[in-house]
Every structure is written in C-alpha cells, then in structure tokens.
Structure 1
C-alpha cells in the first residue's frame, strides 16, 4: 500500500485536491509527479529486457511520454545469453527507438552520494503501478473521477493478499490466466479496430470485421467482469472461485492395477522390514503388490488412481499445496497420529478437498498455521476420517450439500470458526470424537429453504468441550408468521423445548403426534430429570432439530396445498431428519451445549 499511496499522493498533490482522478488523467499526473522528483540527467541505469541487460546513461527525461533519453555508457557493458548483442547492435537498436526508453524499463544504478535515491524510488513507484495495477483497457472504461476506488484499490488489495498467501493458489492461477487472455484479446481488438477505421470502403470484408470486433468486445467485457469478481474481496469467494468444480477423477488404470504408495523422508532397513511384515506382505495378501516410493505425501496423492493406497511413514512432512482427492483412495499413517504429521504451509488454500466416491483417511495428524481456509472440505462422495488429529486454524471440517462424512475416534481443535460445518442435504456421522477449543463446536446450516434437503446427522459418544460459543449451533432464518399459523392450527397441544440456558420456553406450537411421528424409530427422548448435566444437551439438540424438521414438512405441505396438490409422494412428504444423538458429553462450552442463530 505505501508504494502506490506515494504515487497517488504525488499525482494528486500537483493538481487535484481529492484522492481520485479519471483514468484518462493518470498518465498526465504521473508525468507531473516524475517531473517533481526525478533528476533530469546525469544518472546511470540498467536497461533490462527479457533478452539482455545493458548499462546506459540518462541525458534527459521526456516527462509527458514517461520516457528517458539515454545513450550507451562508456565502457560498453552488456549481459546477454545471446552473443549477437554487440556495441554496434545496441547502438542501432537505440537509434530505432530514437534513444528513448520507458522509465519502467530502467533500474537506477546505486550511487553512494544518495543524490539519485528519490529518482530510483520514483521509478520503482511507476514500475509497480504499470506492472500490477494499470490495465491497457482502463482508459476505455468509464472515465469518471473514481478510478482509485473503482480499480486501483481492489487491485492493490488483491496484490497484497496474494503476497501474504491469503488467496488460494488455484484462484491466483485463474486470475493471471484471465489477465493474459484479456490482454491478448484486447490487442487483437485494437488491431481490428484500427484496420476498420483506416478504411473508407463499405465492403463485405469490413462488415465481417465489425462483427468480429463486436464478438471480441463481448468476450473482453466478460473476462473483465470475471477479473472484477476476483479483485473484489467481498465477492471473491462467493462468485469468483470454486476449487472443487475443476477436480476430475482419473478412474482406474488401463490395466486395472492398484498401487501402494509408500511415503518416507528417509527409508531405513528396519522400517522397510516392518512395512513388509505388517502392511505390504501380510498373510491376507493374495496377490503381489506394486509399490512406489515417495518422499512427499502430496506427490504420492497426486500420483494415485482409483483404488490406490498411500501409506505415510512416521515423520513431519511440510507441504506447500492442497490435497485434491477426486478418486476413491486410502490415505493411512503408519503409526500413531502424533508420529505422522502433515503440516500445511501457505495461507490461501484448503488443506484437503475431497470429491471421491469413497475416501478414507486414518492415523494422521494435520496441522495448519495462519490459514484462511478450512482444514478439510467434503464436496461430493463419502470421506471417512478415523483416528486422526486435526489442528485447525480457521474452519475445521466442512460437509457440503450431497456429501457424506464419517468421522470416528478423532480429535479436532483450534478452529476460529466451527469445528464441523454441516450443510443442508449432507450426511454427517460423528462417533467418539473430541471437538474442543473452537469458536463453535458444530454448526448446522439453515435448511428451511424449499430448495434444501434436510441433513442426516448422527452424533454418538462425542465429547464437545471448551468451545467459546455453543457446543452445537443451528443457523436458521426467522420463522414467518404463516408457518406459525399452520403450526397452531395443526397442533392439539404444545411441546416445551429446552433452551440452552437451562430454562424452558413455550417457543414452538407443535403437535405431540407430529413430533412423535417424525422421531419414531429414529430417536429416543429421555426425560430431562434423568439426565446428567453433561449429557442434557443431547435432548436439546435432538428436540430442536426434529422440531425444525417438522416446520419444513409443514411449509412443504402448505406450498403443495397452494398448488392444489392434496396427495404427495411419500418421499417428498417424509424428509424427516435422521437423528441419532446419544451419549454425547458437553462440558465447559462458553454459551452452553446448544443454541440457535437467527438471521
């Protein structure tokens, strides 16, 4: 930020009292800024291109063109991989350029006197601006006094977010690819437009060129909109990028073979013997295994096909990238989780993105540092986590719509958001886990919307403790009055819902018969008096989830009634939540075992 701020201050201090300008005025203000701080002559610089570097001396500056008038320094110094750049060649090249070079192609040579320090800094400002902020099409966009707010500020924020590893690597690649495409199309558009404008004829070829120009213009505008979505920090993750969308399963190998990948930073003879005895050549192994060895777990997973197994030997592995698992594979630590540690470097990416039909991860410890994305996200298919330790930084495990998670005998902690996020239409089974020291233990997303299916949730024998907020929190919208009217009309009695603060409020007008029908065969409701303080949350959670499920059923019936449908398919009408919440313990959660968040 300070670099561009200096440039903007320099530009605006010359003419504009405000902190903004038109895009068409940027070059003029930059020239005025350079005229104030740049030494007009007497300094040396390196003229640097992709092919060569040559020492030149600046004899004058054409401020309005943002160019310096130069001559070759004596003695002639040139560094190039191509031997053809002789003194004569460079003189001829400079003559073709009329000895004028863009200032952003010059790097000021250090001078002990410090006389040219401001000159070097000013050129760095200009170079930064034209490399990272300015776009060749900016002048043709809306020419209003909001260029800084509309273009400079979001691009600058994105640049520093990238430097600080706060943007997923895939999104960075997408952004740079979009920029490159847009630049190519824009140059093509300019060439086409100049060809049309220089011709006075009304020929068929010119009409075709105009049609092509319109198509190019539409393509450029479409790419520019995509760039703006990524540049806007509020829209970046909502519309700009879905990493899992590009994950493609490899499927089985052509010959149907399955490979066991062994990961170890160093392979000792004793370790290899243990692996052969316990994992690779066990008595139950009927066929000979093909084995590949890797030193990096990320490389091993990337090499996997459907049905492969990855065995990770004890050690601490630091990875700089994301595990994208689109095939059904098994990832297994050889030893205790604390002995097999995978540590994530970089802030911008998820740790694990899972889309495979049946993925199994066991006996691993996953560690995040300074992350901005969750530790594991299940987008499609089923992922099983067993006997794992998850040291989170932001969100913990996310179960997306239509995905399934089975998490068993694992320990999850440290999330600044929820330890587990459950989306509508997902299936989440949590058995014997510890979820603690997160902002919220488990967060269940709102599923009352007609487009959402009810999630299927099973929670048995988990210990949810020492979270800042609730042990379990249900996010839902404020119930509309028409739904309440339906509940009152259809209810013969009221059910008292136990609140997270320990009191009881008559908050939902739900019939006993409806609630009992919804929960029959799925949940056994115990009397609160018989519960211990630590397990009382089981009743609260199940009661609220079942009640919300009934509301959704009522809303669905009302919509069908409004459409004149009196009989509906049983599958549509019985979207009850499969709830099994038994034996969980809730200890020392800041706001209690269960709560709801209304929006």
Structure 2
C-alpha cells in the first residue's frame, strides 16, 4: 500500500499579492495584459519540473463530454514534457476510471494537474512544482477576466488590476458583501466568459468564410459579433465598479437595501403571512378567468395573491414558504430566487405544457438550487438545455410530484437531481429522460421514489456509499449503462458485481419493490467497491489566517493498491480521512462560488452560481472542485 497525496496551499491576501507581483513584474517594467501569459511562461519554466513527475488530471467537463465519460473523472498521469509557452503538458495516462477509453497520451493545461506527494524520482522538487501550478490556477480562475486581452498596450495590468481583484476575491470570501452583490458579480463573470467563447467561435467562422472562394461576410454573424462585443464592454464597465474599493465599500454600507423595500414594508404590515404569486404569460379572457378559478382548488380564499408575466420576477419577490403558481408556456429563469429557502412551485396543468428552463447566459450550473426546510415542485417540466444539473438539494426536503426532468441534447455529463449529504428527495410520478445520470444520491442522503420513469438516460440512479434509496413501482428502461449504480464498502474485492435486484439483498439501506428493468445495456444494477478520492476544495471555501509563504497542507487522497491481472493492473482507491480547518461556517457563501461551505467529505457539488466549483475556468469555464470518485481505476489504453 502507498498513499496518494496532493498539495494544498493556504495563503493570505498579502501573500498572494506579493507572489503575483514578483511573478508578473519583478523587473519593474510596465506589464500590459498581452504580456501576462509570457510572464507566466517565464515563471513556470524557471520553477516547474519539466518531465518525469506523477500527478492527477481532473478532466474538465467539456473534455469528459468529448470522450463520452462521466463528469467528473480523475485519472493518474505521468508528465512527459511541459510546453511552457502554452502552459500545458504532454501527459501519459497511467490509470483511468472504470471501463473508459482514453488516449495513451494527451496535452493537458497545467492548471488541470495536481502533482502527487509520492514520486518515483525523489530528486524532483515536487513541492515547488505543485505550488507553481497552484499559483497559475488561482490566477486564471479568479483574477484574469475575459476582456483583459483587449486592453490597451500602455496600461499596466499589474498596477491596475492585481490588488483590486485580489481584494474583491477576499472581500467575497470573508462575506463582507451581501448575497445579491456577490450573485451579480458571479453572473457578470460567467456571462463574460460565455460571451468571450462565443466571440472566438464567431470570429473563427467568419475567418473561414473569408478564406473561401466567395469571401462573402455573413451580415447576420457580423451583427451578432458586434452585439457581443458591446455586451462584453458593458460587463467590463460594471465589473470595474465592483473592483473599485471605494464603490465596494459604499455597497457594503448599503447592502441592506435590496431594491424591494416597498414590497418588504407591505409584507411586514400584513404580519409577513404566506402569499401566492400567479404567473401568466397570456391567453384569452376566458382562459385567464378559468386559470384563476382553478387556483381556488388549493388556495384559501383569503390568500393575498399577486400576478406577474415573469416567473423570475415572482421568484425574486416571493418569500420563504410562498406558493408560486405558473400557467402554460415556457418560463426562463436564472435561479430559484427566494424559494430556495422553501416554498411551492406549482403548475396549473400537465407538466408537458409548463416548461421551466434557463436563461441563455444568466443561469448557474444548476437551474434550481434549494437549501430550505421543504420545497414542493408540482406539474412542471425542468429542461436543463445547456446546464449541467437540473435540481440541487443542499439540505432539507424537496418533493417532486408529476414532474418531468428532461434534456434534448443528451450528454453523459448532465445530471437531473443531486441530493447532497443530509438532504432528502421524495419523487412521485416523475419522468427522467435524456440525462447522463438522473438522480445522484450522496453519502448520508436519501431518495424515496414511487411511480417514476427513467428512460433513455446514460444511468438511472447513482448511489454513493451509505446513501439510502427506496424505489417502488418505478421503470428503468433503455439506460446506456446501468439502471442503478451503487458504491459499497461490503465488497471483499475490487471486482464489480452486476446483476438484478437480488444482489442488493444485503443492502439494508436500499429497498426496491415492483420495479421494472428493461434494455439497460450494461446491466440493471452494479455494485462497485467504495472508492473515494478528493481533490482540494477551492481556496475560497475557508477563512484562513495568514501563514508563511511555503506553508502548505498535504491533503490525503487515498490509499492505492495495484493488483496484477491478465489485462494488466488495477488501481484500487480507499478513502483516507482528511483534516479540515477547525472553524468552518456551515452555511456561508464562497467567493466566486456562492456555495455553502461543506466539509471535504461531503460532496463533489460545491457550487451555486457562476464561477463555481463546477465551472472550471478557463478551459471549460469551470473551476477546480473536489470529487468523491465512486468507481475503480484501470490502466489507460488507447481509444
């Protein structure tokens, strides 16, 4: 046995500021934005070991999608060469998860790599290598903005942006800014990255057209490009306001002002009773009257009711416990608004005719994010579209009744409902289709499903170790892998077991009754050894005091055991207890993540809105996150 461990660096604002100043402007020259990458190339070439070190590659979301493998996936690699000018490395894949197919070698951005403590060549300075990559990752994840590349050559990027953006980062980390302001900043950053990617794609398409025989510029794409540049400039201007310390201080002083003061006073005058919000997109007079009448079936006659033609507006002005009633049509939202703490979202007709979907650039990685005592969703369709997750349940109870969780552009990385540790899901007569994994139930979480349908998904249900499931009269059909995947500590070897419901007879925490399994390509139920791995949580998860520059934590990942087999070696991983900072708020925002602070053993999903642990900038617009791997690892082999 040997331990696989990676390095985690705890640094204060002043330490980060000193480091980045030395890296980017130690010669005292003006450093424009166009020179920043070259400065990093110089620094990495000076510090990084160029070849021969082992590490873990956390494969980005879009790369997982290209390879058609589950996200997140972590593989063991050996670095064969570092391209300092590109800030990337050619790696040899030495062990992969499950039965997946990857190339033997792959070019990987340095910030996706995590050097391990144990190295075959003990002469390597792996600590400096790990610290250098940590610096690079922090800079491009949190300090570099998509509009920086267009900045004037006469402007000193370091003098103009470094300290102000670092202070913004730490202000959000400490919770000095209100939730609404933090959400706005994250939304702007995510939208900016999304727009930059779209600009690059359009410019490439236009360039290809110009190289053609006709050389005709598409007016429509040119107009789109112009609008995107305008919007990016607007975002830049707004972000400059938030980056300004004086403006930020003013926002902190006035953060109690939410813009809904009149609404708040009105509710207080009524004793803050629960209210209803009726969302109607329009219809004939008769249809409108009938819709209003139908609410009498479930609303007391004295309920104070407001009407709106915008679901997001209703969610934002609602209060905890309110009921939001929505009529037929397609309703675009950017989040659950105030219902995230509890309440009801109820459709007036069949779920197929009431679609709740994300706005193009304004939604977080999950469409609905709940952390309240109890939430009820009834008669609605949740359409993920381009999002990675439909519903995230952080704590409390979420009930789904007569709902549909769907996605048209099927992808292995798309998740329907994620139930985090301690949370519960109760779903009745709910339909899941087109998803990568329909329901993910984490350790100490519970899902109770009845009369639910899982069809044409990659995987029906993923159960982490010590999670609970009760499923009755459910249907699992046409899964491209397994209907139910369960990780367990009870297997005596590293071999997975594939079978039917009978292989769960010793799992007291799982109850399967009268369920139908049909045409699931890899099998109905699979049991896999309990295998866990954790990458370090993004630094913004914790409040940290000042420490020495080289102070670091070695984060235990797992114990590895190589087992010789006919097909080669299998790398089995067993969880090693991790230590966390002594004082962690259990319900606090994290800068650039808007996530509740969770213990590292809790969950892979520490995200809420933009630039979260599930978005990984800059490669796929995502940041590094932590993940409990729930599957075996096998030797890498060519696709």
Query: Greater helix share, 1 or 2?
Result: 1
Q: Which one has the largest radius of gyration?
A: 1
| Higher RCO (C-alpha 8 Å, min separation 6) | 2
The TM-score range, normalised by the shorter chain, is 0.3 to 0.5
TM-score between both structures, scaled by the size of structure 2: 0.43
